[in-house]
Amino acid sequence: MSLVIKVGLASCGLAAGAGEVFAAIKTHIKKNKIDVEVKETACIGMCFAEPLVEISREDQKSIIYGEVTPENIGNIIDAFTKGKPVEENVIISNILKGSENKTYKKQKRIVLRNCGVIDPISIDDYLGNDGYTALEKSLKEMSRVDIISDIKNSGLRGRGGAGFPTGLKWLFAYNAQNDKKYIVCNADEGDPGAFMDRSVLEGDPHSVIEGMIIGAYAIGADEGYIYCRAEYPLAIKHLNIAIEQATEKGYLGNNIFGSDFNFELHIKEGAGAFVCGEETALMASIEGKRGMPTIRPPFPAQSGLWGKPTNINNVETFANIAWIILNGASEYAKYGTDKSKGTKVFALAGKIKNSGLIEVPMGMPLKEVIYGVGGGMKTEKPFKGVQLGGPSGGCLPSELLDTIVDYDSINKTGAIMGSGGMVVMDTSTCMVDIAKFFLNFTQNESCGKCTFCRVGTKRMLEILIKISDGDGKMEDLDTLEELAHNIIKGSLCGLGQTAPNPVLTTLKYYRDEYIAHIKDKKCPAGVCTSLLKYEVIEDKCIGCTVCAMKCPVNCISGERKQVHKIDQDACIKCGACYDACKFNAIKKG
């Protein structure tokens, strides 16, 4: 019986210690002369249980183990080879009863078709899963217009956030008359809390490259750029390897598949600026300038990189292309809703049990995404909100969890679909703090070109700080809303136009919490330090003196075996006493 052991070695796996597990497997099988093939793969999406190891038999029976350690892996392998697999740490299996994959069934994996399945740095693995056959079909059997109309008919909309119809965008670029055109992949993924693009680039770089080559052929571009943020070193490494392999096989370069189509692809590393995710700023950055957005029109399709017609799409958008060409537009359009077709990848994070990467058909209610696929809350604390769309999006409360995942339904709530980051929050999160967090982010990242965005976000942030410090007034809420609407109107690019969304949605859905900060001078979630008060619970304090010893400002007094007291005026609210007390005799409120 020959076995295959696959280890997930994407960034998430490596951060959880998969590198050490991989080394331990190699040593173990060498030492015990076990006949197995050890393979690398990337992220299967179940990041919550990293490091993940899959052991499979020739007959496709397999077990995926989670939270594997260098210490327990030897035993797991030995037991499996003996036909008596270990039943702890099983995440999914088609051998053991009760561990069949339930959440997987609710998903539809188009973009993630190869992620966690193939070895991302083996082009043969990709070729073995229909890789580059869509490109061959495009070049040999389809005209440029055929491809564009296929993409148009599939209903695919850009996955970078705005949801612009991809086929239409390609048509604009196709129609532009010029002997030089560019195609660009936006892999800047600036939304903090989102990691879909990272996983796709790390786990299946060829699918993005194939999508780009097909796009380039369709619009008539002969040169392309992938703009990837520098915080993703592994993604950049895998892209470089994939480009080299594709060039060697002749999928990049001159006369691809014997046609007269030539295409050259480069990688540009970002240098750390959120605004560079905006398409015009991104192109300025590729040209070596400060990443400042410019006014549109002219749209990139008329005048983009170095003034030439340019088509720019997101990583996930490109990863859909080959599948659509191979399976047909109508097959893709079978999934989803009237105006949002296909599937969407989401990065689940925060206080959710199955944090990681999922891909679901459009139209699924948020509730099903969070509870059905995501497994519900991780902590005992109840659900409070889900943040969609990052700094451009908003927080939605439980009353809105019936909202379905599609561009228009989510827009109606005041949040946006965004690129697919979904951060789930429980009652330990303060919504004023979250609004402050995002405003701090956008205020820092504003490029400074538009006054409203530059100064307005700063003023909003100051008001939010005032509120969380307990110095807010009720009028401040009106000022916040007024400023928000003016910033939306007075900004040139999407950054400013959407920066107030986190404030507006929290004001709309969690207004009580703002009022509690302003009127009662209380932070119900216990996050805003200035409003916190630490007090000794007299019946619980046994006078062990630990808190007094830990207090950095010596503001706790009391004799040994006597009830202690915190001097409220001197307290800096660091929480050291609260953490140190073994008898839960300190109350935070």
Partner 1 sequence: MKFKTEIDITINKFIGKKGILIPLLQNAQDIEGYLSKDLMSYVSEKTGIKLAHIYGVATFYTMFRLKPQGKHIIRVCKGTACHVSDANSIMKEVNKQLDLTNEEDTTKDGKFTVMSVACLGCCSLAPVIMVGDNTHGRLTPDSIGKILKKYE
Ligand X SMILES: Cc1cc2nc3c(=O)[nH]c(=O)nc-3n(C[C@H](O)[C@H](O)[C@H](O)COP(=O)(O)O)c2cc1C
Binding site for partner 1 (CB under 8 A): 11-12, 14-16, 47-48, 50, 189-195, 198, 230-233, 268-274, 285-291, 306, 347-351, 355-356, 387, 390, 421, 423, 425, 428-429, 434, 437-438, 441, 447
Please, are residues 419 and 159 in contact by the beta-carbon 8 Å criterion?
Answer: yes
Query: How buried is residue 548: exposed, middle or buried, by Cβ count under 10 Å (0-12/13-18/19+)?
Result: buried
**What CA–CA distance (Å, rounded) separates 295 from 285?**
15
Shortest separation between residue 193's beta carbon and ligand FES, angstroms = 5
The one of ligand FES, ligand X, partner 1, none whose footprint includes residue 62, by CB under 5 to 8 A per kind, is none
Shortest separation between residue 72's beta carbon and ligand X, angstroms = 38
Q: Which is nearer to ligand X, 310 or 314 (CB)?
A: 314
**What CA–CA distance (Å, rounded) separates 274 from 391?**
10
The binder of ligand X chosen from 161, 203, 350, 524 (CB under 6 A): 161
Shortest separation between residue 438's beta carbon and ligand FES, angstroms = 12
Residues numbered 302 to 321 that lie near ligand X (CB under 6 A) are 312-314, 317
Q: Which is nearer to ligand X, 117 or 321 (CB)?
A: 321
**What CA–CA distance (Å, rounded) separates 496 from 457?**
8
Task: Give me 317's structure tokens.
Answer: 């958008």
Judged by DSSP in three states, 494 sits in: helix
Please, are residues 301 and 289 in contact by the beta-carbon 8 Å criterion?
Answer: no
Q: Is 418 in the site for ligand X (CB under 6 A)?
A: no
Shortest separation between residue 17's beta carbon and ligand FES, angstroms = 16
Shortest separation between residue 387's beta carbon and partner 1, angstroms = 6
Please, are residues 63 and 84 in contact by the beta-carbon 8 Å criterion?
Answer: no
Which residue is it, tokens 């992938």? 226
Q: Which is nearer to ligand FES, 150 or 189 (CB)?
A: 189
The one of ligand X, partner 1, ligand FES, none whose footprint includes residue 125, by CB under 5 to 8 A per kind, is none
Shortest separation between residue 249's beta carbon and ligand FES, angstroms = 35
The one of ligand FES, ligand X, partner 1, none whose footprint includes residue 311, by CB under 5 to 8 A per kind, is none
Q: Which is nearer to partner 1, 85 or 270 (CB)?
A: 270
Q: Which is nearer to ligand FES, 192 or 526 (CB)?
A: 192
Task: Give me 316's structure tokens.
Answer: 């996930």
Shortest separation between residue 192's beta carbon and ligand FES, angstroms = 5
Please, are residues 274 and 495 in contact by the beta-carbon 8 Å criterion?
Answer: yes
Q: Residues in the site for ligand FES, rule: CB under 6 A?
A: 192-193
Q: Is 79 in the site for ligand X (CB under 6 A)?
A: no
- The end-to-end CA distance of the chain, in Å, is 61
Task: Give me 416's structure tokens.
Answer: 């946006």
Q: Which is nearer to ligand X, 66 or 304 (CB)?
A: 304
How many secondary structure helices (H) and strands (E) does the chain include?
Answer: 25, 18
Q: Is 190 in the site for ligand X (CB under 6 A)?
A: yes
Would you give the DSSP letter of residue 252? S
**What CA–CA distance (Å, rounded) separates 562 from 557?**
10
Shortest separation between residue 429's beta carbon and partner 1, angstroms = 5
Helix (H) or strand (E) segment spanning residue 239: helix 233-249
Q: In this structure, which amino acid lies at residue 97?
A: K
Shortest separation between residue 278's beta carbon and ligand X, angstroms = 4
Q: Which is nearer to partner 1, 125 or 191 (CB)?
A: 191
The one of ligand X, partner 1, ligand FES, none whose footprint includes residue 313, by CB under 5 to 8 A per kind, is ligand X
Work out whether strand 62-65 and strand 90-93 pair parallel, antiparallel, or are unpaired. Answer: antiparallel
The one of partner 1, ligand FES, ligand X, none whose footprint includes residue 583, by CB under 5 to 8 A per kind, is none
Q: Which is nearer to ligand X, 162 or 542 (CB)?
A: 162
Helices (H), 370-521: 407-412, 431-445, 451, 457-468, 474-490, 494-498, 501-509, 511-518
For residue 261, give every residue at least 6 positions away whose Cβ sits within 8 Å of its Cβ, in sequence order, or none.
Answer: 139, 217, 222, 255
The one of ligand FES, ligand X, partner 1, none whose footprint includes residue 393, by CB under 5 to 8 A per kind, is none
> Is the bond into 397 cis (omega within 30 degrees of 0)?
no
**What CA–CA distance (Å, rounded) separates 348 from 49?**
13
Shortest separation between residue 508's beta carbon and partner 1, angstroms = 19
Q: Is 425 in the site for ligand X (CB under 6 A)?
A: no
Would you give the DSSP letter of residue 369? I
Shortest separation between residue 419's beta carbon and partner 1, angstroms = 12
The one of ligand X, ligand FES, partner 1, none whose footprint includes residue 273, by CB under 5 to 8 A per kind, is partner 1
Where along the sequence are the contacts to ligand X (CB under 6 A)?
158-162, 164, 186, 188-190, 275, 277-279, 312-314, 317, 419, 493-495
